Chains A and B, each alone.
Chain A
Amino acid sequence: MCRMLVILAAMAISLSVASGSALAIGITPGGTTIDFKPGLEKEVPFTIINNEHKDMDVVVYVKEGPYSDWVALYDTIMTFSSDDDSKGSKYSVRLPQSVEKPGTHQVDIVAMELPKEKEGGGAFVGATTAVVTQLLVRVPYPGKYATLDLAVSEAQAGEPVNFFVKARNLGTEDISNAKATLDILGPTNEKIATLESGESGIGAKSMKEFKLTWTGQTNPGVYHAVVTLRYDGKVTTAEKNFAVGNLYIDVLSIDVKDFRLGGVAKFNINIENKWNDKITGVYGNLIIEDDNGQSVADVKTASTDVGALERKEIYAYWDTEGVKVGDYDARFILHYSGRTTEKDLKTHVEVSDIRVDIMGLGAGAVTVETTGAGGTSNMIMLLVVALIGINAGWFFYFRRRSEQR
């Protein structure tokens, strides 16, 4: 029956792809996971999404497989009009009393777009587009069997990094003692830190999350985490790359030495790679403008590589022939790995000196002192109580007066 539907659908698909109009279909959720229980019966909802808001028919079927008879559909054809954002349906799951093979077993429920037949009919040929919502049934492993999932929180340099280690016991027996150990490795695989969780039990078919926090001196860059779970004489591991902060090169200072007006000014530009890995192909662009906003210089530095956390000097050259003494606005743009660091400059040109100020550097940080919130809250609470009292007083006073009248 399913196969028939698929064949019919495939034959009926229009030439819409070839003719340029887009096909679109969606389904949510992409998957539903349930733990195996003997004889479990359950209904699972899903929604088909009409992304392009058009008239279409969707054929729904269960893909043939070893476990496809666990699932029965409520709808096999769903009709959408252009007003329909989405439509819901459901399937029923009926699990057997036992399953021999442990692990995660999958059944695909397929929704395939079937565009409306063109006016005037005609033969439909073309390709099909289908989306799948999966039913995943977790059949427990005999004994104790743990799997690991590692998530890492986002952090800027210097901030603590949190690791969330999800240990799932997919076995039939409780784990009495589990402990997670996490190694943090740098870009050259050197071990930077080791974190250890406390010990904990994990019930059969249950999950335990261990939170580990790295509070060391975290420089921006990419790191590698390897987590090992030791549980009742068994071991399992998971690993993941994570980044701290953003890839960034700072411009520390710009100065010019040994300058004579009319000659070539050499701008010494000090930069610092804040990332924990080498960044290649770094170059800068110095643009200097006169009072009228006209560019009097647009020069580039040579391209260079900057090592991990390295400070380096790069150079830009400006031929000052015909340039007058005075102040010039300027901009320095550092290009690297598809990013830029941009600095606005004030350039003061003298006969034998050029002074360059990077705008924004040296500005003092503003510290705002806050008063204790608890004290304020108490004051306000007193005020609220007083206001309620005053209102109640007024109310009774005026009521009494009107009664006396």
Chain B
Amino acid sequence: MWIAIVANIVVIAMLMNLFYIPIRAPMGDETTDRKPVFSWGGLQGAVTFMLDEDPEFGSPVTKEVEGTAYTPESPLDFGTYYWKVVSPDGLSSPTGMVTVVSEVSVSRGDGWLKNTGNTPISLERETTGGLTGMVVGINQTVGIGNDENVTARQA
């Protein structure tokens, strides 16, 4: 008897998944990944993914998605975003939140410097000749003298 009941409960749980869209990630996280992977559960198939800086979703970006994950095609601006998915028959997931923060990172070797962060940087270069500045894009490598003092800040 108990086996039958447990089996039925499993079936019911699976069927209930059709009436509930659990969100998985990100949920209230802070990330330096400007293309975070948004993922959810449920068995709805195609859904509308909605992303907005407004928790009321006043002017959301929407995308029709097959499957249970979505990665933005272009990098998100820094800030806090709210997201949810809605099935074709109007079933909505809870609202998730993610904050995309900037990271200023550099790597430096013999005669070169690379911007390894997630934002273009304004590079202040200090040599015996004085101060100069330049903007270095994400993943861009520039040549610099080994005797230059450099300071990188968000451009």
A residues whose Cβ falls under 8 Å from a Cβ of B: 10, 17-31, 49, 51-52, 108, 110, 126-134, 151, 153-154, 162, 164, 209-211, 372-374, 377, 380-381, 383-384, 387-388, 390-391, 394-395, 398
Q: Are A31 and B154 in contact (CB under 8 A)?
A: yes
Please, which residues of chain A bring their CB within 8 A of the CB of B117? 26, 30
Q: Within B133-155, which residues are at the interface with A (CB < 8 Å)?
A: 145-154
The 11 sampled A-B contact pairs (Cβ below 8 Å) are: A18-B146, A20-B110, A24-B105, A28-B104, A108-B153, A127-B149, A130-B151, A132-B153, A209-B53, A211-B59, A398-B1
Please, which residues of chain B bring their CB within 8 A of the CB of A29? 78, 101-103
Q: Are A20 and B109 in contact (CB under 8 A)?
A: yes
Known interface pairs A25-B105, A162-B61, A373-B88. Does A132 touch B152 (Cβ–Cβ under 8 Å)?
A: yes
Please, which residues of chain B bring their CB within 8 A of the CB of A162? 61
Which of A17, A209, A388 has the most CB atoms of chain B within a 10 A radius of its CB? A17
With both beta carbons as reference points, the residue of chain A lying nearest to B99 in the complex is identified as A29
Q: Are B109 and A30 in contact (CB under 8 A)?
A: no
User: What CA separation (Å) do A266 and B72 show in the bound complex?
Assistant: 46
Please, which residues of chain B bring their CB within 8 A of the CB of A153? 61
With both beta carbons as reference points, the residue of chain A lying nearest to B90 in the complex is identified as A374
Q: Are A17 and B108 in contact (CB under 8 A)?
A: yes
Q: Are A394 and B102 in contact (CB under 8 A)?
A: no
B residues whose Cβ falls under 8 Å from a Cβ of A: 1, 4-5, 8-9, 11-12, 15-16, 18-19, 32, 44, 53-54, 58-59, 61, 73-74, 77-78, 87-89, 91, 101-110, 113, 116-117, 119, 145-154
Please, which residues of chain B bring their CB within 8 A of the CB of A24? 105-108, 116
User: What CA separation (Å) do A289 and B54 show in the bound complex?
Assistant: 58
User: What CA separation (Å) do A110 and B151 show in the bound complex?
Assistant: 8
Q: Are B88 and A381 in contact (CB under 8 A)?
A: no
Please, which residues of chain A bring their CB within 8 A of the CB of B9? 391
User: What CA separation (Å) do A27 and B109 show in the bound complex?
Assistant: 19
Q: Are B102 and A390 in contact (CB under 8 A)?
A: no
User: What CA separation (Å) do A134 and B139 show in the bound complex?
Assistant: 21
Q: Are A127 and B146 in contact (CB under 8 A)?
A: yes
Please, which residues of chain B bring their CB within 8 A of the CB of A133? 104
Please, which residues of chain A bring their CB within 8 A of the CB of B18? 377, 380
Nearest first, the 4 A-B pairs at minimum CB distance are A26-B105, A30-B154, A30-B102, A211-B59
Q: Are B153 and A387 in contact (CB under 8 A)?
A: no
Known interface pairs A127-B150, A132-B104. Does A17 touch B109 (Cβ–Cβ under 8 Å)?
A: yes
Please, which residues of chain A bring their CB within 8 A of the CB of B104? 26-28, 30, 131-133
